Amino acid sequence: MCDSTTDCLPYSETDFDRFSPDDCQPEVSSTTSLINNNNYNNNNDNADVQPQPVDFDGSGQFLTKAEKRRRRRATERYRRAHATRERLRVEAFNKAFKNLRALLPTLPPDKKLSKIEILRLAISYVAYLAHLLKICD
């Protein structure tokens, strides 16, 4: 029987100094090929319950689709592009409301209306025009 933990080890403490953390990492290509070829052992009959690994990030962990999406969205380039798209969307939205507002009769004509007021006024105006068409027929 071993007297201490170090006596039971097949290597001496100096042997561990020769190994780097990179030596313990599996090769990306071999791990990826195992996953792609389905050569790993899956003892669970219900595969839908377990999340499937999507990508290998080099740190010894698999990334799920959600984690990949989170990491991609965290980049400065993605955030800048997203902010630009959102700004253009809001500008187009406001322009459409401005155009709709220009078509609606109000007193006074330069009165500032909120977006909900513009929509309600547009609904009323369309109903009024439909009523006029019914009367004329």
Tens of pLDDT, residue by residue over 100-119, are: 999 999 878 888 999 999 99
User: Hey, where are the domains in the chain?
Assistant: 5-52, 76-136
Check residue 46 and give its pLDDT. 52
How is the chain classified by DSSP, letter by letter? --SSHHHH-SS-HHHHTT--GGGGSPPHHHHHHHHHTT-S----S-TTTSPPP-EE-SSS-EEPHHHHHHHHHTSHHHHHHHHHHHHHHHHHHHHHHHHHHHHS--SSTT----HHHHHHHHHHHHHHHHHHHHHH-
The pTM assigned to this predicted structure is 0.48
pLDDT tier, 63 (very low <50, low <70, confident <90, very high otherwise): confident
Check residue 80 and give its pLDDT. 93
- pLDDT of residue 128 exceeding 60, the answer is yes
Could you tell me which CATH class the domain 76-136 is placed in?
few secondary structures
- Digit-coded pLDDT (tens) for 13-55: 444 344 444 444 444 444 444 445 444 444 555 555 555 555 5
